[in-house]
């Protein structure tokens, strides 16, 4: 196995031994580890405390950039939709992982799989109720303002 993927799995195993969930991630550029993360939900009250997201956050803080294009994520488990989304926003274009969301279901960690199914649905069919309320006429339009400012 690739050394970076092996490191991600090692992080995941250590995290389980410390009472956490079985997820570790390593963010790599030019064959060098830039940041690492493990699932920290057992330590922090933060649902975004996933291994990949924390690795991304650490790299971005360290490098003072939102652009991680050219970086590769190595994750012990297939990224959840939240982490995958963060990778899209950051421009990460390659992910290697060991265990799939189907493997996760088998041990009782089925939320990622459920969310992947949810986001395929039409808005009205999702379990989270989403209601669009248009801007009031007298309100300043934030998007129009942004467009004006960023011409």
Active site residues: 52
The DSSP element (H or E) to which 86 belongs, if any, is helix 81-90
Q: Which is nearer to Zn ion, 12 or 80 (CB)?
A: 80
Distance CA 111, CA 102 (A): 11
x/- map, 15-54, Zn ion, by CB under 5 A: -----------------------------------x----
Min dist. Cβ of residue 73 to Zn ion (A): 11
Rama region for 134: left / alpha / beta (φ>0; ψ in -120 to 50; rest): beta
Nearest one of 15, 19, 131 to 76, comparing CA atoms:
15
Q: How many residues bind Zn ion (CB under 5 A)?
A: 4
Nearest one of 45, 20, 29 to 37, comparing CA atoms:
20
Q: Does 83 bind Zn ion (CB under 5 A)?
A: yes
Three-state SS for 124? helix
Of these, 54, 73, 80, 104, which contacts Zn ion (CB under 5 A)? 80
Q: Which is nearer to Zn ion, 28 or 73 (CB)?
A: 73
Q: Which residues bind Zn ion (CB under 5 A)?
A: 50, 80, 82-83
């Amino acid at each position: 196995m690739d050394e970076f993927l092996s490191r991600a799995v090692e992080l995941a195993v250590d995290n389980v031994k410390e009472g956490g969930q079985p997820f570790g991630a390593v963010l790599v550029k030019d064959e060098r580890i830039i940041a690492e993360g493990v699932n920290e939900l057992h330590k922090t009250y933060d649902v975004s405390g996933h291994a990949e997201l924390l690795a991304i956050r650490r790299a971005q803080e360290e490098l003072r950039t939102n652009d991680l294009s050219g970086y590769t994520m190595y994750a012990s488990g297939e990224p959840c939709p939240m982490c995958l989304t963060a990778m899209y926003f950051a421009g990460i274009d390659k992910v290697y992982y060991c265990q799939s969301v189907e493997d996760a279901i088998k041990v009782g960690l089925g939320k990622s799989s459920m969310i992947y199914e949810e986001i395929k649905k039409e808005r009205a069919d999702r379990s989270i109720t989403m209601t669009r309320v248009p801007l009031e006429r007298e309100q300043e339009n934030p998007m129009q303002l942004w467009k004006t400012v960023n011409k």
